[in-house]
Amino acid sequence: MATTYENPTEPSTTSLVTGIIDDVQALLKQQFELARREVKQDVRKAAEGVLFIAMSAGVFFVGGILFCFALVYLLHWATSPAGTDPARVPLWACYGAVGLLLIIAGAALGWLSRATFKSIDPVNNPATEAMKENIDWATKPK
């Protein structure tokens, strides 16, 4: 009884090298796509931060204007004869309260925009780090 053994055909060196090159190309494409998406995310965060800065500046500006009106009305109230304003809360206090609230809201929006910008780190993101590791690995002599 004769037993025959079949040797499976082994892949050639050329096909192995071609497979490795194809894998490296696919890896690089994926890493560039990941880096592109992370850059888009950073741009989106930056746009959000700019929006918060614009809103902060607008609200802060309006609050400052109202606060200036409050100071003018305070000066008018302080120099008016006693009993000329029948309102329970003087007009200057109303302007001052609204202006102060808007200034606080503007400061809060400014703080939010600062926090948004601090969260952006385009240099130290995972895609950049992975790409650096791959480049170091590919260029490091063995």
d(CA 49, CA 75): 38
The model's confidence at residue 7, banded by pLDDT at 50, 70 and 90, is low
Please name which of 108, 106, 107, 113 lies closest in space to residue 49, comparing C-alpha atoms. Answer: 113
Q: Is the pLDDT of residue 111 over 80?
A: yes
Contacts of 79 (CB under 8 A, 6+ apart): none
Supply φ then ψ for residue 18, to 5 degrees: -60, -40
Each residue's pLDDT tens digit, 120-130: 776 677 767 77
How far the first Cα of the chain sits from its last, in Å, is 51
Q: Residue 6: its pLDDT value, please? A: 61
CB atoms within 10 A of CB 67: 17
- Token pair, residue 74, equals 């305070």
Q: Is the pLDDT of residue 8 over 80?
A: no
Each residue's pLDDT tens digit, 39-75: 888 888 888 888 888 998 999 899 989 889 888 888 8
Q: Residue 65: its pLDDT value, please? A: 92
SS3 labels along the chain? CCCCCCCCCCCCHHHHHHHHHHHHHHHHHHHHHHHHHHHHHHHHHHHHHHHHHHHHHHHHHHHHHHHHHHHHHHHHHHHCCCCCCCCCCCHHHHHHHHHHHHHHHHHHHHHHHHHHHHCCCCCCCHHHHHHHHHHHHHHCCC
Q: 102 with 62: CB under 8 angstroms?
A: yes
pTM of the model: 0.59
Average pLDDT, the chain: 82
- Token pair, residue 128, equals 């950049």
Q: Residue 141: its pLDDT value, please? A: 65
Domain ranges of the chain: 14-137
The model's confidence at residue 104, banded by pLDDT at 50, 70 and 90, is very high
Each residue's pLDDT tens digit, 28-38: 888 888 888 88
